[in-house]
Amino acid sequence: MKIVFAQGNPGSEYVWTRHNVGFLAIDELTGHFSANFAPKPKFFADIAETTLAGEKIMLVKPTTFYNETGMSARALIDFYKLNPATDFLVLHDDLALPFGTIRTRVKGSDAGNNGIKSLNAHLGEQYARVRIGIYSPLRDQMNDVNFVLGRFSTEEREALPALFHTTSEFIEKFVSGRFEPTKLSLPL
Protein backbone atom coordinates (compact mmCIF):
# COMPACT_ATOMS: atom_id res chain seq x y z
CA MET A 1 0.00 0.00 0.00
CA LYS A 2 1.11 3.56 -0.76
CA ILE A 3 0.03 6.86 0.78
CA VAL A 4 -0.34 10.01 -1.32
CA PHE A 5 -0.47 12.77 1.27
CA ALA A 6 -1.51 16.31 0.33
CA GLN A 7 -0.51 19.42 2.25
CA GLY A 8 -3.20 22.04 2.79
CA ASN A 9 -5.56 23.70 5.25
CA PRO A 10 -9.07 22.40 5.99
CA GLY A 11 -12.05 24.70 5.53
CA SER A 12 -13.84 26.32 2.62
CA GLU A 13 -12.04 29.65 3.14
CA TYR A 14 -8.75 28.01 2.08
CA VAL A 15 -9.90 25.98 -0.92
CA TRP A 16 -8.44 28.10 -3.75
CA THR A 17 -5.43 29.43 -1.86
CA ARG A 18 -1.89 28.78 -3.06
CA HIS A 19 -1.07 26.86 0.14
CA ASN A 20 -3.81 24.35 -0.79
CA VAL A 21 -2.45 23.36 -4.19
CA GLY A 22 -1.68 19.90 -2.75
CA PHE A 23 -5.32 19.48 -1.70
CA LEU A 24 -6.51 20.69 -5.10
CA ALA A 25 -4.24 18.21 -6.88
CA ILE A 26 -5.42 15.27 -4.78
CA ASP A 27 -9.06 16.33 -5.23
CA GLU A 28 -8.50 16.15 -8.99
CA LEU A 29 -6.99 12.66 -8.67
CA THR A 30 -9.83 11.50 -6.43
CA GLY A 31 -12.35 12.74 -8.98
CA HIS A 32 -10.53 10.87 -11.75
CA PHE A 33 -10.85 7.60 -9.80
CA SER A 34 -14.42 8.33 -8.64
CA ALA A 35 -13.20 7.83 -5.09
CA ASN A 36 -14.75 9.63 -2.15
CA PHE A 37 -13.13 11.09 0.93
CA ALA A 38 -14.37 9.89 4.29
CA PRO A 39 -13.43 11.43 7.65
CA LYS A 40 -10.98 9.31 9.64
CA PRO A 41 -10.55 11.16 12.97
CA LYS A 42 -8.04 8.68 14.40
CA PHE A 43 -5.71 9.66 11.53
CA PHE A 44 -6.55 13.39 11.71
CA ALA A 45 -7.49 13.17 8.03
CA ASP A 46 -10.04 12.69 5.30
CA ILE A 47 -9.06 9.61 3.29
CA ALA A 48 -10.07 8.11 -0.05
CA GLU A 49 -8.92 4.69 -1.19
CA THR A 50 -8.37 3.47 -4.73
CA THR A 51 -6.07 1.31 -6.81
CA LEU A 52 -3.40 2.59 -9.17
CA ALA A 53 -1.00 0.46 -11.21
CA GLY A 54 -2.24 -2.60 -9.30
CA GLU A 55 -1.35 -1.05 -5.94
CA LYS A 56 -3.78 0.01 -3.21
CA ILE A 57 -3.32 3.70 -2.46
CA MET A 58 -4.70 5.99 0.20
CA LEU A 59 -5.28 9.59 -0.84
CA VAL A 60 -4.97 11.70 2.31
CA LYS A 61 -6.00 15.25 3.18
CA PRO A 62 -5.03 15.98 6.80
CA THR A 63 -7.62 17.80 8.88
CA THR A 64 -4.93 19.42 10.99
CA PHE A 65 -3.76 22.76 9.72
CA TYR A 66 -0.85 22.85 7.27
CA ASN A 67 1.86 23.37 9.88
CA GLU A 68 0.78 20.33 11.97
CA THR A 69 0.37 17.67 9.27
CA GLY A 70 3.13 15.48 10.73
CA MET A 71 0.67 14.18 13.37
CA SER A 72 -1.56 12.73 10.66
CA ALA A 73 1.35 11.25 8.72
CA ARG A 74 2.83 9.59 11.81
CA ALA A 75 -0.53 8.07 12.80
CA LEU A 76 -0.96 6.55 9.32
CA ILE A 77 2.61 5.25 9.04
CA ASP A 78 2.45 3.64 12.49
CA PHE A 79 -1.00 2.08 12.06
CA TYR A 80 -0.29 0.56 8.64
CA LYS A 81 3.36 -0.23 9.45
CA LEU A 82 4.63 1.51 6.32
CA ASN A 83 8.08 2.77 5.45
CA PRO A 84 8.07 6.53 4.69
CA ALA A 85 11.05 6.11 2.33
CA THR A 86 9.16 3.75 0.01
CA ASP A 87 5.44 4.12 0.76
CA PHE A 88 4.79 7.82 1.38
CA LEU A 89 4.50 10.65 -1.18
CA VAL A 90 3.73 14.27 -0.26
CA LEU A 91 2.18 16.87 -2.58
CA HIS A 92 2.88 20.44 -1.49
CA ASP A 93 3.30 24.01 -2.64
CA ASP A 94 6.75 25.54 -3.03
CA LEU A 95 7.16 29.28 -2.69
CA ALA A 96 10.66 29.23 -4.25
CA LEU A 97 9.53 27.61 -7.52
CA PRO A 98 7.78 29.66 -10.20
CA PHE A 99 4.15 28.82 -10.90
CA GLY A 100 4.10 26.09 -13.54
CA THR A 101 7.20 24.35 -12.20
CA ILE A 102 7.12 20.94 -10.56
CA ARG A 103 10.11 19.46 -8.77
CA THR A 104 10.27 15.96 -7.35
CA ARG A 105 12.56 14.77 -4.59
CA VAL A 106 13.06 11.46 -2.77
CA LYS A 107 14.19 13.14 0.48
CA GLY A 108 15.28 16.50 1.82
CA SER A 109 15.14 19.33 4.29
CA ASP A 110 12.10 21.52 4.89
CA ALA A 111 13.56 24.52 2.99
CA GLY A 112 11.51 26.84 5.24
CA ASN A 113 8.17 25.10 4.58
CA ASN A 114 6.47 24.66 7.97
CA GLY A 115 4.30 21.76 6.81
CA ILE A 116 7.38 19.87 5.63
CA LYS A 117 9.10 20.83 8.90
CA SER A 118 6.24 19.10 10.75
CA LEU A 119 6.49 16.01 8.52
CA ASN A 120 10.28 15.87 8.95
CA ALA A 121 9.90 16.13 12.74
CA HIS A 122 7.52 13.13 12.73
CA LEU A 123 8.95 11.02 9.89
CA GLY A 124 12.51 12.13 9.23
CA GLU A 125 13.59 13.45 5.82
CA GLN A 126 13.42 10.18 3.87
CA TYR A 127 10.15 10.39 1.90
CA ALA A 128 9.18 11.41 -1.63
CA ARG A 129 7.79 14.83 -2.50
CA VAL A 130 6.12 16.52 -5.44
CA ARG A 131 6.77 20.22 -5.01
CA ILE A 132 4.37 22.41 -6.99
CA GLY A 133 5.64 25.93 -7.67
CA ILE A 134 3.39 28.81 -6.64
CA TYR A 135 5.75 31.81 -6.95
CA SER A 136 4.61 34.77 -9.07
CA PRO A 137 5.81 38.39 -9.17
CA LEU A 138 2.91 39.25 -6.83
CA ARG A 139 4.95 37.51 -4.09
CA ASP A 140 7.45 40.37 -4.16
CA GLN A 141 4.70 42.77 -3.04
CA MET A 142 3.65 40.97 0.15
CA ASN A 143 4.86 38.75 2.97
CA ASP A 144 4.95 34.95 2.76
CA VAL A 145 1.81 34.35 4.85
CA ASN A 146 -0.39 36.70 2.84
CA PHE A 147 0.92 35.28 -0.43
CA VAL A 148 0.48 31.57 0.36
CA LEU A 149 -2.95 32.19 1.90
CA GLY A 150 -3.95 34.33 -1.08
CA ARG A 151 -6.08 32.94 -3.87
CA PHE A 152 -4.82 31.91 -7.28
CA SER A 153 -5.38 34.44 -10.05
CA THR A 154 -7.88 33.62 -12.80
CA GLU A 155 -5.03 32.82 -15.19
CA GLU A 156 -3.39 30.52 -12.63
CA ARG A 157 -6.67 28.71 -11.95
CA GLU A 158 -7.07 28.09 -15.68
CA ALA A 159 -3.56 26.56 -15.77
CA LEU A 160 -4.07 24.28 -12.75
CA PRO A 161 -5.53 21.31 -14.72
CA ALA A 162 -2.28 21.01 -16.71
CA LEU A 163 -0.28 21.05 -13.47
CA PHE A 164 -2.54 18.44 -11.92
CA HIS A 165 -2.26 16.19 -14.98
CA THR A 166 1.53 16.26 -14.65
CA THR A 167 1.29 15.73 -10.89
CA SER A 168 -0.85 12.64 -11.54
CA GLU A 169 1.87 11.28 -13.83
CA PHE A 170 4.42 11.66 -11.02
CA ILE A 171 2.05 9.91 -8.60
CA GLU A 172 1.75 7.00 -11.01
CA LYS A 173 5.55 6.82 -11.28
CA PHE A 174 5.80 6.78 -7.48
CA VAL A 175 3.25 4.01 -7.11
CA SER A 176 4.88 1.90 -9.84
CA GLY A 177 8.42 2.37 -8.46
CA ARG A 178 9.70 4.68 -11.21
CA PHE A 179 9.83 7.91 -9.19
CA GLU A 180 13.07 9.90 -9.36
CA PRO A 181 14.25 13.45 -8.72
CA THR A 182 13.39 15.82 -11.53
CA LYS A 183 12.45 19.40 -12.33
CA LEU A 184 9.88 20.25 -14.98
CA SER A 185 8.63 23.65 -16.11
CA LEU A 186 5.34 23.45 -17.97
CA PRO A 187 4.63 25.84 -20.86
CA LEU A 188 1.53 27.49 -19.43
pLDDT of res. 32:
85
pLDDT of res. 168:
94
State yes or no: pLDDT of 116 exceeds 80. yes
Beta bridge partners, 91, equal: 6, 130
How far apart are the C-alpha atoms of 159 and 162, rounded to whole Å?
A: 6
Are the beta carbons of 63 and 72 closer than 8 angstroms?
Answer: yes
Beta strands in the chain, from DSSP E residues, in sequence order: 2-6, 38-40, 45-52, 55-62, 88-98, 101-105, 128-135, 182-185
pLDDT of res. 35:
93
Q: Was domain 2-185 assigned CATH 3.40.1190.20?
A: no
What's the pLDDT tens digit per position in 58-105? 999 999 999 999 999 999 999 999 999 999 999 999 999 999 999 999
Q: Where are the domains of the chain?
A: 2-185
How far apart are the C-alpha atoms of 175 and 162, rounded to whole Å?
A: 20
Beta bridge partners, 132, equal: 93, 102
State yes or no: pLDDT of 120 exceeds 80. yes
> What is the residue-averaged pLDDT of the chain?
95
What's the pLDDT tens digit per position in 127-154? 999 999 999 999 999 999 999 999 999 9
122 is catalytic: no
pLDDT of res. 112:
84
Beta strands in 22-87, from DSSP E residues, in sequence order: 38-40, 45-52, 55-62
Element (H, E) at 166: helix 154-175
What's the pLDDT tens digit per position in 32-61? 888 999 999 999 999 999 998 889 999 999
Q: Is the pTM of this model over 0.85?
A: yes
